[in-house]
Amino acid sequence: MIKFLELCISGISLGSVYALVAIGFVVIFKATRVLSLVHGSLLLLSAYVVARAEPTVGFLPAVLLGAAVAVVGAVLVQRVFLERLRRRGANYIALTMLTVGLDIILLTEVTRRIGARVYGINNPWGSEVIHWGGFSFPVARLAGIVVSFSLIALFFAAFKYTTWGVALRASADDSHTAALMGIRQSRVAGAAWAVAGALAAVAAVFLVAFPAPGLDASTSLVALKAFPAVVLGGLDSASGALVGGLSVGLVEVVLSGYGEQLSFLGGGFGSVAPWALVLLVLLVRPSGLFGSKEVARV
Amino acid sequence: MTAGERTAHPTGPLLLSGGGGVTAPPPARLVVDGLTVVFGGVTALDDVSFTVEPGTVHALIGPNGAGKSTCFNALTGVYRPARGTALFGTHDLTSMPPHRIASVGVGRTFQNIALSPSETVRDNLLLGRHHLGRSGFLADALGTRRARHEERQALARIEAIAAFLGLADKLGTPLGTLAYGDQKRVEMGRALAMEPRLLLLDEPAAGMNASETESLTQSIDQIRSELGISVLLVEHDMTLVMQVSDRVTVLNFGKKIADGPPAAIQTDSTVISAYLGEPEDWTTPHPGDGPGETSSER
Amino acid sequence: MCSRPSRRISWPASPARVVCWAAAVLALGGAPFFLSSALLQIGLLAGCAVIAAIGLNILTGTAGQFSLGHAFFVAVGAYGYALLSGDPAAANVVGLGLPSVVSVPLAVAIAGLSGLAFSPIASRVRGLYLAVASLALVFLGQHVLFNASAITGGFHGRDIAPLSVGGFTFSNRDPLYVLGVEFGRYERLWYVALAATVAAYLVARSLLGRRSGRAFRAVRDNEVVATAMGVNVRATKTAAFVVSASYAGLAGTLLALTLGRVVPESFGFEQSVDYLAMIVIGGLASVGGAVAGAVIVASLPLLLSQFSSYLPFLATPGSGGIEAGTFTRYVFGIAIVLILLFEPRGLSALGRRVASLGRRDPVAPAVTGGQSSPVPQSAQ
């Protein structure tokens, strides 16, 4: 029982970090109808910046710098590339493939710089573990939960009450009318990409923190785990992304924790279980749990 | 180039008997009975009944939002009605798989041009013959003798239809490069290529100038008298409606408010008061005069 | 190149065209006589990529179904062949010991059936949801390849039984000399691959130029319109998946025969992305484009590393500079971005432009994908 609860806390911690990335995907999808496949390398880039800057400037400034790099990178992707293609009426396949092309370039560059190295990022929590009546948790995991949920709460508040949030929701519901109401689509989109970049940067810090081994070239693959999360919840549902992120984190950690009992499913089934979950959910609900059904176009 | 592109006939005669080897089944009447469509609690179409007699042009008119397009979409299986039937001959259109509706002899055009801009006029027209074809994926892949024969027959028929509509010299042109009026004609041609017994025309004159509307009026007249096809017409251009229709059904707020020959409808007080909100539909002789040849807006 | 096979534009057979064709036939047919084994292997791998890319382009380019899972279906073909033709007496992997000529079509059929098995999802799930669902196939597939070691050989993979037709084996056994050239595995397989690739090309052109191809494009451009024209949208999507998975299966079988050994890492996420890169670079919905894109994406990294010692801008592996593999990743990434921004119809359109330079007829303006004008959802 103690093991199960520990796994649950750990799963929620990982899940909340996935949710950060997944919410970024939802915001991007709402604003630009694209699945950002460049996110994995943006996340890797910001983690790399944090890892390189931290020894000289300290943890918090390094994180801010990493986030700034991710934000600038994301906005550039949207402004310089996607917007240009979107104006020509390109469909979602072309737009998404554009993010694939950018991902290949950025990923190649960052992994080349990282090489075979593994960067540890010194953070305030280090590798401390709290012991409390039979339970034990890494502090970094708890910090992950606190920081992620604070940011998620902040995001939902902004989504609900700020002009940007209203504009984003309006554009997603009916881009034509939103444009008539004077909403500058490209501004909303730029801000959406910025938010997604910032969320990914924070997520990156926790994804490479203890008890994970640190930052290496494969960290970008971790960002792919946010895909099942976002599709599970529904591409255009922010609360769906939260639910999806938590489910993916829980399923992954709990199933991995009981890996021995599940060995008939193969070693490491926990880490691919979210993908099986996504297929099961789509089989029943083709637009995810909370995604809106596409209206037939005539 | 292919045989049909020798010279352009402005509007040549179109012999229906050919039909690519398909013998025309007897004309059938469309009996719409108690059709009701509900969208999330809102009744868009409320208990609407009317009958389209074989070989007639039947207009469906009403102010914006009256439910005309909803009715079209319910008849073609895009929306499932909550109640009611639409019997065409012996087939209930509202309960059959939507893709089977074409093969019982119902063809349609779309309000906003719904053709493939990157395909040639020829391929856009050939799509209309899909339900008449029999060659499957394997036969097409292997290019069997039957598949090739079928393709040749379809092509010959398409050339006749293109000539009928004055498009004979444009078969090889990518659709996206045609003028707006020509695109509208291709839209009509594709519906004719379906060899329908009942043709649903959704605002065929929208965006046309006076002379284009004039030739459209002739085409609809020919379709009824020479080809013997029944036409159900949704249209805002009252001059056109009154010129070509044998019978008119008027909808307002989803309900039928009048039904009768054009002359009776023109003097019907309920209809006039329903239209008072947008008098331009009534008074302007040619609403199409305004936009002129505005192919650019689409 | 015309993209509609059934209506071939009969150009006058200009001497230049005749010479071009003759040169191509001679070069491809005679390759085993003047290319080294290493280059032949690169050519064979390019052939596999061509077949796979044609299949993906039918699915994604023509039918508009965005798939990130193509590598999975390639794996089904490769491992399917390995299982069917494998030696039953092998120590740690299962083999059914079927004759290889039977195993090849069966492996292709199994791949096609796996596409069919995916249809409950493939025919209902749309757009980017489908992209992620197909990505799930790749990750779950990798998991199976690593873990079902009785069939797959696990991490280290398993050996492949050579193709054998009526006693003639496509391997290095029984030395064979043709016109003084030693015909080993690659030389012998070359003609098999050439025939398969040409057949894959011709079948795709035939399919896409007829009723089925129009149904695919109609489903891509507007499902409501397609339905009104009598196209069964779900059946058409299923068919697109089956066709594309069968192509992937053939590619996988040929890949297994070429490599002589299959390992999981040949069928991962990166390979799926590569297949997409091929069709975007070549030109979405163009069969010829898929061929060009596949040849470039598959062979460029191998050719560059083959000749890296002659290329001053490339470093030898391990020296810390930019290696051939890294270099080609930059090239592909940049190529995808530039092509999407400046010629969304890819190399096929560029090729047509070059070809039409001498002629009068202009190339049609670019129309990127369907539904260039999203229609308001009118529900009066």
B39 touches chain C (CB under 8 A): yes
Lowest mean pLDDT among A220-234, A252-266, C6-20, C23-37: C6-20
Residue of chain A minimizing CA distance to B202: A298
Question: Percent of chain C having pLDDT more than 90?
Answer: 56
- Convert the pLDDT of each residue in A58-115 to its tens digit: 889 999 999 999 999 999 999 999 988 988 888 889 999 999 999 999 999 999 888 8
Residues C50 and C294: beta-carbon distance below 8 Å: yes
Write the secondary structure of A5-68 as one string of H (helix), E (strand) and C (coil). HHHHHHHHHHHHHHHHHHHHHHHHHHHHCCCCCCHHHHHHHHHHHHHHHHHHHCHHHHHHHHHH
Q: Which two tokens stand for residue B99?
A: 């893709």
CA neighbours within 13 Å on the CB side: how many for A286?
12
Q: Hey, which residues 87-106 in chain B have their CB within 8 Å of chain C? A: 97-103
What CA–CA distance (Å, rounded) separates C341 from C328?
20
Question: Percent of chain B having pLDDT more than 90?
Answer: 50
C330 assigned to some structural domain: no
What CA–CA distance (Å, rounded) separates B204 from C60?
33
Amino acid making up residue C113 = L
**Strand partners for B199:** B107, B231
**C330: enclosing H helix or E strand:** helix C324-342
Amino acid making up residue B25 = P
B114: chain A residues, CB-CB within 8 Å? 298
Distance (Å) from the alpha carbon of B267 to chain A's nearest alpha carbon: 34
The answer to whether the bond into A61 is cis (omega within 30° of 0) is: no
C364 assigned to some structural domain: no
Amino acid making up residue C253 = T
C211: chain B residues, CB-CB within 8 Å? 130, 133, 135, 140, 147, 150-151, 154
Q: Quick one: B290 exposed, middle or buried, by C-beta within 10 A (0-12, 13-18, 19+)? A: exposed
Average pLDDT over residues C168-190: 82
ipTM: 0.90
A275 touches chain C (CB under 8 A): yes
Residues B114 and C234: beta-carbon distance below 8 Å: no
- Convert the pLDDT of each residue in B258-279 to its tens digit: 899 998 888 888 888 887 655 4
Residues A229 and A148: beta-carbon distance below 8 Å: no
Distance (Å) from the alpha carbon of C35 to chain B's nearest alpha carbon: 33
Q: Are A227 and C135 inside 8 Å of each other by CB?
A: yes
Q: What backbone phi and psi angles, to 5 degrees, belong to A132?
A: -150, 110
B66: chain C residues, CB-CB within 8 Å? 380
In the numeric block, the tokens 């402004």 are attached to: A79
Q: Are C231 and B298 inside 8 Å of each other by CB?
A: no
**B201: enclosing H helix or E strand:** strand B198-202
Q: Which residue in B130, B153, B232, B252 has the most chain C C-beta atoms within 10 A of its own C-beta, making it the best mutation to test that interface?
A: B130
Band (B292; pLDDT cuts 50, 70, 90): very low
Band (C12; pLDDT cuts 50, 70, 90): low
Q: Which residue in C224, C229, C367 has the most chain B C-beta atoms within 10 A of its own C-beta, making it the best mutation to test that interface?
A: C229
Average pLDDT over residues A180-197: 84
Q: Which two tokens stand for residue B124?
A: 């856009």
Q: Are B114 and A296 inside 8 Å of each other by CB?
A: no
Closest to C278 in 3D by CA, of C94, C46, C95, C119: C46
Distance (Å) from the alpha carbon of A26 to chain C's nearest alpha carbon: 12
Going along chain B from its start, the domains and CATH numbers come out as: 31-105+196-293 (3.40.50.300), 116-194 (no CATH)
Query: CB within 8 A of B212, min separation 6: which ones?
Result: B181, B184, B205, B288, B293
Identify which of C206, C211, C228 has the shortest CB distance to residue B76: C228
What CA–CA distance (Å, rounded) separates B241 from B225?
16
Q: Which two tokens stand for residue B166?
A: 């004055």
Q: Which two tokens stand for residue A213?
A: 């081994």
The answer to whether the bond into A228 is cis (omega within 30° of 0) is: no
Q: Please, where are the H alpha helices in A209-267? A: 219-224, 226-233, 238-257
Size of interface B-C (CB pairs under 8 A): 131
Residue of chain A minimizing CA distance to B77: A296
What CA–CA distance (Å, rounded) separates B246 from A34?
49
Return the pLDDT at C6. 43
What CA–CA distance (Å, rounded) separates C220 from A297?
13
Lowest mean pLDDT among B85-99, B261-275, C121-135, C265-279: B261-275
Q: Are C131 and A295 inside 8 Å of each other by CB?
A: no
CA neighbours within 13 Å on the CB side: how many for C39?
8
Q: Which chains touch C (3 or more CB pairs under 8 A)?
A: A, B
C125 touches chain A (CB under 8 A): yes
Closest to C348 in 3D by CA, of C127, C69, C62: C62
Distance (Å) from the alpha carbon of B33 to chain C's nearest alpha carbon: 19
Q: Which two tokens stand for residue A126?
A: 């280090």
Q: Hey, which residues 170-199 in chain C have their CB within 8 Å of chain A? A: none
Query: CB within 8 A of B179, min separation 6: which ones?
Result: B293, B295
Identify which of B65, B130, B298 has the shortest CB distance to residue C230: B130
C318 touches chain A (CB under 8 A): no
Any idea where the domains of chain A sit in the sequence? 2-284
Please, which contacts does B49-52 make with residues 24 or more away whose CB atoms are closer than 8 Å?
B49/B84, B49/B256, B50/B249, B50/B256, B50/B259, B52/B198, B52/B230, B52/B232, B52/B247
Q: Are B100 and C230 inside 8 Å of each other by CB?
A: yes
Average pLDDT, chain A: 87
A96: chain C residues, CB-CB within 8 Å? 66, 128, 131
Strands (E), C14-155: none
- Convert the pLDDT of each residue in A216-238 to its tens digit: 888 888 778 899 999 999 998 99
Band (C197; pLDDT cuts 50, 70, 90): very high
What CA–CA distance (Å, rounded) separates C91 from C229?
57
Q: Which chains touch B (3 or more CB pairs under 8 A)?
A: A, C
Distance (Å) from the alpha carbon of C253 to chain B's nearest alpha carbon: 20
Distance (Å) from the alpha carbon of A123 to chain C's nearest alpha carbon: 30
Residues B90 and B29: beta-carbon distance below 8 Å: no
What CA–CA distance (Å, rounded) separates C254 from C198?
14
Return the pLDDT at B63. 87
C42 assigned to some structural domain: yes
Please give the distance of CA C272 from its chain centroid, rounded to a whole number.
10
Per DSSP, B119 falls in state S
B3: chain C residues, CB-CB within 8 Å? none
Per DSSP, B10 falls in state S
**Strand partners for B85:** B33
Residues C229 and B190: beta-carbon distance below 8 Å: yes
Residue C81 has pLDDT above 90, yes or no: yes
Q: Quick one: A293 exposed, middle or buried, by C-beta within 10 A (0-12, 13-18, 19+)? A: exposed
CA neighbours within 13 Å on the CB side: how many for B225?
10
Distance (Å) from the alpha carbon of B44 to chain C's nearest alpha carbon: 7
The CATH code of domain A2-284 reads: 1.10.3470
Amino acid making up residue B230 = S
Distance (Å) from the alpha carbon of A75 to chain C's nearest alpha carbon: 16
Return the pLDDT at C379. 34
Distance (Å) from the alpha carbon of B5 to chain C's nearest alpha carbon: 13
C196 assigned to some structural domain: yes
Return the pLDDT at C377. 35
Identify which of C214, C215, C229 has the shortest CB distance to residue B102: C229
Residue of chain B minimizing CA distance to A297: B78
Domain of C248 in residue numbering reads as 31-266
Residue C311 has pLDDT above 80, yes or no: no
A93 touches chain B (CB under 8 A): no
What CA–CA distance (Å, rounded) separates B179 from C364?
14
Q: Are A96 and C136 inside 8 Å of each other by CB?
A: no
Q: What backbone phi and psi angles, to 5 degrees, belong to A49?
A: -60, -45
Please state the domain count of chain C: 1
**Strand partners for B61:** B250
Question: Percent of chain A having pLDDT more than 70?
Answer: 98
Closest to C275 in 3D by CA, of C2, C21, C51: C51
- Convert the pLDDT of each residue in C270-283 to its tens digit: 999 999 999 999 99
What CA–CA distance (Å, rounded) separates B233 from B165?
18
